[in-house]
Amino acid sequence: MKVFKKIVDLQNELFLVRKEGKEIGLVPTMGALHEGHASLIKRSVKENGATVVSIFLNPTQFNDKGDLERYPRTLEADCKLCEACGAQYVFAPSVEEMYPTPDTRHFEFPPQSTVMEGAKRPGHFNGVCQVVSRLFYIVKPNRAYFGEKDWQQIAVVKRLVNYIGYDKLVHIVECPIVRDEDGLAKSSRNTLLTPEERAIAPNIYKALKASVDYAKDHTVKETHDKVVADINAIDGLDVEYFEIVDGNTLLDVNNWDDSDYVVGCITVYCGHTPIRLIDHIKYKDPETK
Protein backbone atom coordinates (compact mmCIF):
# COMPACT_ATOMS: atom_id res chain seq x y z
CA MET A 1 0.00 0.00 0.00
CA LYS A 2 1.23 3.48 -0.87
CA VAL A 3 0.63 6.63 1.18
CA PHE A 4 0.49 9.96 -0.65
CA LYS A 5 0.57 13.42 0.89
CA LYS A 6 0.82 15.44 -2.33
CA ILE A 7 -2.01 15.79 -4.85
CA VAL A 8 0.26 15.63 -7.90
CA ASP A 9 1.90 12.38 -6.73
CA LEU A 10 -1.48 10.70 -6.21
CA GLN A 11 -2.77 11.92 -9.55
CA ASN A 12 0.31 10.64 -11.38
CA GLU A 13 -0.20 7.22 -9.79
CA LEU A 14 -3.91 7.14 -10.64
CA PHE A 15 -3.11 8.07 -14.26
CA LEU A 16 -1.21 4.78 -14.51
CA VAL A 17 -4.07 2.92 -12.81
CA ARG A 18 -6.56 4.20 -15.39
CA LYS A 19 -4.13 3.39 -18.18
CA GLU A 20 -4.38 -0.24 -17.06
CA GLY A 21 -8.17 -0.02 -17.47
CA LYS A 22 -8.91 -0.25 -13.74
CA GLU A 23 -11.83 1.47 -12.04
CA ILE A 24 -11.17 3.51 -8.91
CA GLY A 25 -13.09 3.55 -5.65
CA LEU A 26 -12.81 6.39 -3.13
CA VAL A 27 -13.54 6.12 0.59
CA PRO A 28 -13.50 9.66 2.06
CA THR A 29 -12.74 9.72 5.81
CA MET A 30 -11.56 12.08 8.52
CA GLY A 31 -9.45 9.39 10.16
CA ALA A 32 -9.84 7.60 13.49
CA LEU A 33 -10.96 4.62 11.44
CA HIS A 34 -13.07 1.76 12.86
CA GLU A 35 -15.01 -1.28 11.68
CA GLY A 36 -17.56 0.93 9.95
CA HIS A 37 -14.85 2.44 7.76
CA ALA A 38 -13.37 -1.03 7.25
CA SER A 39 -16.67 -2.22 5.77
CA LEU A 40 -16.58 0.66 3.25
CA ILE A 41 -12.97 -0.06 2.30
CA LYS A 42 -13.58 -3.79 1.85
CA ARG A 43 -16.58 -3.13 -0.35
CA SER A 44 -14.59 -0.72 -2.50
CA VAL A 45 -11.74 -3.22 -2.82
CA LYS A 46 -14.25 -5.85 -3.93
CA GLU A 47 -15.91 -3.60 -6.52
CA ASN A 48 -12.93 -1.71 -7.98
CA GLY A 49 -9.49 -2.36 -9.41
CA ALA A 50 -7.96 0.21 -7.04
CA THR A 51 -9.14 1.85 -3.82
CA VAL A 52 -8.09 5.24 -2.46
CA VAL A 53 -8.84 6.01 1.21
CA SER A 54 -8.58 9.70 1.97
CA ILE A 55 -7.67 10.57 5.56
CA PHE A 56 -8.15 14.28 6.04
CA LEU A 57 -9.55 16.07 9.08
CA ASN A 58 -11.36 18.81 7.20
CA PRO A 59 -11.42 22.06 9.20
CA THR A 60 -14.02 23.79 7.02
CA GLN A 61 -16.85 21.51 8.16
CA PHE A 62 -16.37 22.24 11.88
CA ASN A 63 -18.38 25.20 13.15
CA ASP A 64 -17.14 24.36 16.67
CA LYS A 65 -13.34 24.70 16.80
CA GLY A 66 -13.29 22.88 20.13
CA ASP A 67 -14.90 19.90 18.43
CA LEU A 68 -12.16 20.00 15.78
CA GLU A 69 -9.43 20.06 18.42
CA ARG A 70 -10.95 17.11 20.30
CA TYR A 71 -11.39 14.96 17.20
CA PRO A 72 -9.12 11.87 17.45
CA ARG A 73 -6.05 11.69 15.20
CA THR A 74 -4.63 8.19 14.62
CA LEU A 75 -2.94 8.21 11.19
CA GLU A 76 -0.51 5.35 11.83
CA ALA A 77 -3.24 3.00 13.06
CA ASP A 78 -5.52 4.18 10.24
CA CYS A 79 -2.96 3.23 7.60
CA LYS A 80 -2.58 -0.23 9.12
CA LEU A 81 -6.35 -0.75 8.97
CA CYS A 82 -6.46 0.41 5.34
CA GLU A 83 -3.70 -1.99 4.37
CA ALA A 84 -5.35 -4.88 6.23
CA CYS A 85 -8.58 -4.20 4.31
CA GLY A 86 -6.78 -4.35 0.96
CA ALA A 87 -6.68 -0.66 0.02
CA GLN A 88 -3.94 0.17 -2.46
CA TYR A 89 -3.64 3.87 -1.62
CA VAL A 90 -4.03 6.28 1.28
CA PHE A 91 -4.25 10.00 0.57
CA ALA A 92 -3.35 11.96 3.72
CA PRO A 93 -2.76 15.58 2.73
CA SER A 94 -2.07 18.55 4.96
CA VAL A 95 -4.58 21.39 5.26
CA GLU A 96 -2.23 23.55 3.18
CA GLU A 97 -2.15 20.91 0.43
CA MET A 98 -5.94 20.66 0.25
CA TYR A 99 -6.54 24.39 0.64
CA PRO A 100 -3.53 26.33 -0.71
CA THR A 101 -5.84 29.34 -0.64
CA PRO A 102 -9.06 29.77 1.37
CA ASP A 103 -12.00 27.95 -0.22
CA THR A 104 -14.60 30.67 -0.75
CA ARG A 105 -17.08 28.48 -2.64
CA HIS A 106 -20.53 28.35 -1.09
CA PHE A 107 -22.77 25.32 -1.46
CA GLU A 108 -26.39 25.21 -0.32
CA PHE A 109 -28.87 22.51 -1.27
CA PRO A 110 -32.15 23.13 0.54
CA PRO A 111 -33.95 21.46 2.10
CA GLN A 112 -31.39 18.63 2.46
CA SER A 113 -28.56 20.91 3.63
CA THR A 114 -30.62 23.32 5.73
CA VAL A 115 -32.59 21.08 8.12
CA MET A 116 -31.41 19.07 11.15
CA GLU A 117 -27.57 19.06 11.06
CA GLY A 118 -27.66 21.95 8.63
CA ALA A 119 -29.70 24.05 11.05
CA LYS A 120 -27.78 23.02 14.17
CA ARG A 121 -24.28 23.29 12.65
CA PRO A 122 -24.20 26.36 10.37
CA GLY A 123 -21.60 25.96 7.62
CA HIS A 124 -21.09 22.25 8.26
CA PHE A 125 -22.46 20.95 4.98
CA ASN A 126 -20.80 23.75 3.04
CA GLY A 127 -17.49 22.45 4.40
CA VAL A 128 -18.47 18.86 3.56
CA CYS A 129 -19.24 19.89 -0.01
CA GLN A 130 -15.99 21.82 -0.29
CA VAL A 131 -13.83 18.85 0.69
CA VAL A 132 -15.86 16.17 -1.13
CA SER A 133 -15.84 18.17 -4.37
CA ARG A 134 -12.08 18.68 -4.00
CA LEU A 135 -11.57 14.95 -3.49
CA PHE A 136 -13.72 14.15 -6.53
CA TYR A 137 -11.69 16.58 -8.66
CA ILE A 138 -8.40 15.10 -7.40
CA VAL A 139 -9.20 11.37 -7.47
CA LYS A 140 -11.89 11.27 -10.19
CA PRO A 141 -13.33 8.04 -8.75
CA ASN A 142 -15.80 5.76 -10.49
CA ARG A 143 -17.45 5.06 -7.14
CA ALA A 144 -17.41 6.83 -3.77
CA TYR A 145 -18.42 5.05 -0.58
CA PHE A 146 -20.30 6.67 2.30
CA GLY A 147 -21.70 5.12 5.48
CA GLU A 148 -25.41 5.47 6.24
CA LYS A 149 -24.67 6.61 9.79
CA ASP A 150 -24.08 10.04 8.27
CA TRP A 151 -27.39 9.64 6.51
CA GLN A 152 -28.16 13.31 5.89
CA GLN A 153 -24.67 13.81 4.50
CA ILE A 154 -25.37 11.26 1.76
CA ALA A 155 -28.47 13.20 0.70
CA VAL A 156 -26.39 16.39 0.49
CA VAL A 157 -23.56 14.69 -1.43
CA LYS A 158 -26.06 13.38 -3.99
CA ARG A 159 -27.24 16.94 -4.57
CA LEU A 160 -23.61 18.04 -4.83
CA VAL A 161 -22.64 15.57 -7.58
CA ASN A 162 -25.60 16.73 -9.65
CA TYR A 163 -24.64 20.37 -9.12
CA ILE A 164 -20.99 19.94 -10.16
CA GLY A 165 -21.91 17.71 -13.09
CA TYR A 166 -20.36 14.53 -11.69
CA ASP A 167 -23.62 12.55 -11.52
CA LYS A 168 -22.66 10.56 -14.65
CA LEU A 169 -19.00 10.19 -13.58
CA VAL A 170 -19.15 8.97 -9.98
CA HIS A 171 -21.64 6.59 -8.39
CA ILE A 172 -22.43 7.29 -4.73
CA VAL A 173 -22.51 3.94 -2.91
CA GLU A 174 -24.47 3.90 0.35
CA CYS A 175 -23.26 1.35 2.91
CA PRO A 176 -25.23 0.13 5.96
CA ILE A 177 -24.46 1.27 9.49
CA VAL A 178 -22.07 -0.98 11.40
CA ARG A 179 -23.02 -1.31 15.06
CA ASP A 180 -21.43 -2.72 18.17
CA GLU A 181 -23.15 -5.74 19.71
CA ASP A 182 -25.07 -3.45 22.07
CA GLY A 183 -26.42 -1.43 19.13
CA LEU A 184 -24.29 1.71 19.34
CA ALA A 185 -23.45 2.94 15.84
CA LYS A 186 -19.72 2.81 15.15
CA SER A 187 -18.28 6.32 15.20
CA SER A 188 -14.86 7.90 15.55
CA ARG A 189 -16.35 10.00 18.34
CA ASN A 190 -17.04 6.87 20.41
CA THR A 191 -13.35 6.80 21.37
CA LEU A 192 -13.91 10.09 23.22
CA LEU A 193 -16.54 8.54 25.52
CA THR A 194 -15.60 7.66 29.09
CA PRO A 195 -16.46 4.10 30.22
CA GLU A 196 -19.52 5.49 32.01
CA GLU A 197 -20.66 7.39 28.91
CA ARG A 198 -20.02 4.40 26.69
CA ALA A 199 -22.26 2.33 28.97
CA ILE A 200 -25.27 4.62 28.54
CA ALA A 201 -24.81 5.52 24.85
CA PRO A 202 -26.52 2.32 23.52
CA ASN A 203 -29.80 3.59 24.98
CA ILE A 204 -30.05 5.86 21.93
CA TYR A 205 -30.46 2.99 19.49
CA LYS A 206 -32.47 1.00 22.03
CA ALA A 207 -35.10 3.76 22.09
CA LEU A 208 -35.05 4.14 18.30
CA LYS A 209 -35.44 0.41 17.70
CA ALA A 210 -38.29 0.10 20.22
CA SER A 211 -40.08 3.00 18.55
CA VAL A 212 -40.53 1.05 15.30
CA ASP A 213 -43.07 -1.26 16.95
CA TYR A 214 -44.52 1.62 18.96
CA ALA A 215 -45.12 3.57 15.74
CA LYS A 216 -47.37 0.84 14.34
CA ASP A 217 -50.28 1.99 16.50
CA HIS A 218 -49.27 5.52 17.48
CA THR A 219 -49.07 8.84 15.64
CA VAL A 220 -45.88 10.48 14.38
CA LYS A 221 -46.01 13.01 17.21
CA GLU A 222 -46.59 10.33 19.86
CA THR A 223 -43.66 8.33 18.50
CA HIS A 224 -41.44 11.41 18.43
CA ASP A 225 -42.31 12.37 22.00
CA LYS A 226 -41.75 8.85 23.32
CA VAL A 227 -38.28 8.55 21.79
CA VAL A 228 -37.25 11.92 23.22
CA ALA A 229 -38.70 11.11 26.64
CA ASP A 230 -37.11 7.65 26.81
CA ILE A 231 -33.65 8.95 25.95
CA ASN A 232 -33.82 12.05 28.13
CA ALA A 233 -34.88 9.84 31.04
CA ILE A 234 -31.35 8.37 31.04
CA ASP A 235 -29.00 10.43 33.20
CA GLY A 236 -26.21 11.72 30.97
CA LEU A 237 -28.17 11.73 27.70
CA ASP A 238 -29.76 14.87 26.26
CA VAL A 239 -31.56 14.92 22.90
CA GLU A 240 -30.56 17.90 20.77
CA TYR A 241 -33.14 17.04 18.11
CA PHE A 242 -35.21 14.13 16.86
CA GLU A 243 -36.93 14.63 13.52
CA ILE A 244 -39.19 12.18 11.68
CA VAL A 245 -38.82 13.08 8.02
CA ASP A 246 -39.41 12.09 4.42
CA GLY A 247 -36.42 10.01 3.38
CA ASN A 248 -35.91 11.95 0.16
CA THR A 249 -36.72 15.57 0.95
CA LEU A 250 -35.74 15.41 4.66
CA LEU A 251 -38.80 17.52 5.45
CA ASP A 252 -40.96 16.68 8.48
CA VAL A 253 -43.87 14.28 8.06
CA ASN A 254 -47.00 14.77 10.16
CA ASN A 255 -48.68 11.45 9.37
CA TRP A 256 -47.29 8.02 8.50
CA ASP A 257 -49.20 8.11 5.20
CA ASP A 258 -47.45 11.31 4.09
CA SER A 259 -44.61 9.31 2.53
CA ASP A 260 -43.61 5.74 1.69
CA TYR A 261 -40.08 6.50 2.94
CA VAL A 262 -39.96 7.72 6.55
CA VAL A 263 -36.83 8.08 8.66
CA GLY A 264 -36.22 9.20 12.23
CA CYS A 265 -32.99 11.19 12.62
CA ILE A 266 -31.52 11.96 16.02
CA THR A 267 -28.62 13.76 17.65
CA VAL A 268 -27.90 13.22 21.33
CA TYR A 269 -25.37 14.80 23.68
CA CYS A 270 -23.73 12.12 25.81
CA GLY A 271 -21.91 12.83 29.06
CA HIS A 272 -20.70 16.03 30.63
CA THR A 273 -18.09 17.04 28.00
CA PRO A 274 -20.42 16.39 26.06
CA ILE A 275 -19.91 14.12 23.03
CA ARG A 276 -22.35 14.59 20.16
CA LEU A 277 -23.70 11.30 18.74
CA ILE A 278 -25.94 10.85 15.70
CA ASP A 279 -28.09 7.93 14.57
CA HIS A 280 -31.25 7.18 12.61
CA ILE A 281 -33.96 4.57 12.17
CA LYS A 282 -36.15 3.75 9.17
CA TYR A 283 -39.89 3.54 9.84
CA LYS A 284 -40.90 3.01 6.21
CA ASP A 285 -38.52 2.00 3.43
CA PRO A 286 -39.78 1.34 -0.11
CA GLU A 287 -36.74 -0.85 -0.80
CA THR A 288 -37.76 -3.40 1.85
CA LYS A 289 -41.32 -3.88 0.59
What residues form the annotated binding site for beta-alanine?
Answer: 61
Catalytic hit among 37, 124, 224, 280: 37
For residue 174, what is the enclosing H or E element?
A: strand 171-175
Contact 1, 87 (CB under 8 A): yes
Residue 252 gets which letter from DSSP? B
CA distance 161 to 173: 13
CA atoms within 13 A on the CB side of 68: 13
> Largest alpha-carbon pair distance within the chain?
58
Q: Are strands 171-175 and 262-270 parallel, antiparallel or unpaired?
A: unpaired
280 is catalytic: no
Nearest CA among 277, 275, 253 for reference residue 266? 277
Single-letter code of the amino acid located at 139: V
* Binding region for (R)-pantoate: 61, 153
Angle, CA of 50, 53 and 55, to the nearest 5°: 160
| Spatial CA neighbour of 188 closest among 278, 85, 124 | 278
Query: Dihedral angle at the C-alpha atoms of 232, 233, 236, 238, nearest 10 degrees?
Result: 10
Q: Where are the beta strands (DSSP E) in the chain?
A: 2-4, 24-29, 50-55, 89-91, 143-147, 171-175, 237-246, 262-270, 275-284
Strand partners, 252: 245
The beta-strand segments (E) located in 176-287 are: 237-246, 262-270, 275-284
Q: Which sequence positions are flagged as catalytic? A: 37
